[in-house]
Each structure stands twice: as structure tokens, then as C-alpha cells.
Structure 1
Amino acid sequence: MQLNCLDRIIDLSSPQVMGILNVTPDSFSDGGAYTQLDRALAQAEQMVSAGAAIIDIGGESTRPGAKAVTQQQELDRVLPVIEAVSQRLDTPVSIDTSKAAVMKEAVAAGASLV
């Protein structure tokens, strides 16, 4: 079984790893460590080197008590990272969002999974 992610194919005959890259200042998993583009890109590269088959990028924290962000804030956080990761790495990028407009812009920027 295969997953076709635009121009990239993921073999699903065995389990695959998705690297989670939160680009939020209030992330509960990494404390906002990847809000700068260079740090986010370096982390994505490290996750791929460690075996990640997909890089999932999120720009709004879902931790309990997190404040909602505007659509524009989320776009400002995720689009530069999606563009950089999809251009630099031969790895599918997914977008983690609940906003339809962010989904659409993320795909236009290089994300191949929603």
C-alpha cells in the first residue's frame, strides 16, 4: 500500500514515522523552541535524518488553556516553514490546522497532506 503525496510516495507496507514540528511560542511539547525559521528547518532536517517520513507542521497550540490565534498569525507562523522544508527536503509536509484557509494556503506553499 502506498500514500501518494503529490510528487512523493510513502510506502505504507510498514509503519512510518511522522515528525511533529510545532512552530508556536506556547507549544506544550517543546516550549516554543522552533519559532525561528532556521531552528525549525534544522529540526525538520534532524527528524528526517532520524527516520521521519513526513514532517507535520503546526502553528497553533492545542495544549489545555492555550489562547486561540488568528488565521493571519497562524499563516505567518507556518507558511515560511512549509516553504523552506518542502524546498529543502525530499519529504512530504503536512499541515496541522483546523482552519480551512490555512489548509489551502499551506498546500499552495508546499504541504501535501492536511
Structure 2
Amino acid sequence: MPRNTEIRPHVVTLLCDTDFKDRPDTNTWTHRDGQPFTKEEQETALSATRAEFEEFHAQHKRYMEYLHDKDAAPDALHLFLAPFMEQLTTKTLGNAVELMTKDDRTELDRLLTSIDEPGRPFTPYAL
């Protein structure tokens, strides 16, 4: 593995689209969609530096955290709203919002966006 600390964005992008299982028929890795790497792509992936693998790992970790937060958002919203709803006779979101501080409303907006936003695919962040 080369020691260069310069990160090449095209290498990180390729790593982000890699299924690291070896294909015996092509002796290469594959893209996440199952397409085998070309010889050039395999050479590029194998030329990745430690810094590029670390960048890929950091981006993948952030993506996994995003997926976890997205999956947990409905339960988090329920837990967030529970104390407000307990105070209300007529339990509606509008009535709960009237009890919230500005910071509470910001958190409510974040949770609602997490629930409503379609899941994004794993793609590399800009370097």
C-alpha cells in the first residue's frame, strides 16, 4: 500500500462503490450493483493509500450513522413528543408545538425531516 497522504477523490469514490468480495470468475472486486471491476478499476482500488482507505472508512461510518438515525427517527419523535402530549387534553401536534421553546421546535423539525426525507444512497462526500 503506498504511503502517500494525498487523497485522490476518484479513488475514494471508487472505494465507496466497492463490494470487497472477490469474484473468482474475474479475480476482481465488484461495484455495489454487482458489476465486476475492470482491470483498471481493480488496479486503482489496489493502489489506494492508507489515507484514502481512512477517508473511505470515515465516510462509510458517517453513512451508517445516518442510516441508524433515519431508522431510529420515528421512535425518537415519539419519545420527544411524549412529555408535551402528557400536558395536553387535546393531543395534537399543533397543540404540542405551542408548548415548545424555539430549541424544541428546531429539534422537532430535525426529527420530522429525518422521517420524511427519502433515504439517500451511499455516495462519497466532497473532499
Pick the TM interval, shorter chain: under 0.3
Bigger share in helix? 2
Larger strand share, 1 or 2: 1
Q: Which has the higher contact order (CA 8 A, sep 6+)?
A: 2
